[in-house]
Structure 1
């Protein structure tokens, strides 16, 4: 088990498949901000603390596919807000009770 306080500037970040992701810049709220170095887009990338699986010495291990830019997150949110399925918010996001989705009555339609 680890705490966010164990994550320090300069730590190496690898995913659980052994791929080098980046280097820790700082921890902000619920995300780890990585340095810009090593990313072709020249932007800071972020990893949610929930995706961190272990902190050991000077290395942090994360689940694969979680390093992303704030711009990518904002783009995904903007896409979701503009999607036609979001125009009628009277239905619950995860379906309605008894919709036979197999998800306890609250599955997606």
Structure 2
């Protein structure tokens, strides 16, 4: 299981494929709040911590590719 304390503001979130998903704004309970500047609709979106595979090389890596991760944002 991922340690949420490893996730910090402004970290890039990428899919397992390495493609960009978003940028961490901050943690909100068991979710990662992404910056709205990175969003196509200009709103904040959230990604559940359970979707994170690891924190590696200063990036949050999801368990799925970027398209699947983007589809899970809420």
Q: TM-score range by the shorter chain?
A: 0.7 to 0.9
Give the unaligned 5+ runs of structure 1. 70-109
TM-score, normalised with respect to structure 1: 0.58
* Aligned-CA RMSD value: 1.5
Residue 69 of structure 2: aligned partner: 66
Give the unaligned 5+ runs of structure 2. none
Report which of the two has the higher share of strand.
Answer: 2
- SS class of match (1:61): strand
CA distance in 2, matches of 1:66, 1:20: 10
CA distance in 2, matches of 1:58, 1:52: 13
Structure with higher Rg: it is 1
For these two proteins, the number of residue pairs brought into alignment is: 69
CA distance in 2, matches of 1:60, 1:2: 10
- SS class of match (1:37): helix
Structure 1 consecutive aligned stretches of length 4 or more whose deviation exceeds 3 Å = none
Alpha-carbon deviation of 1:52?
0.2
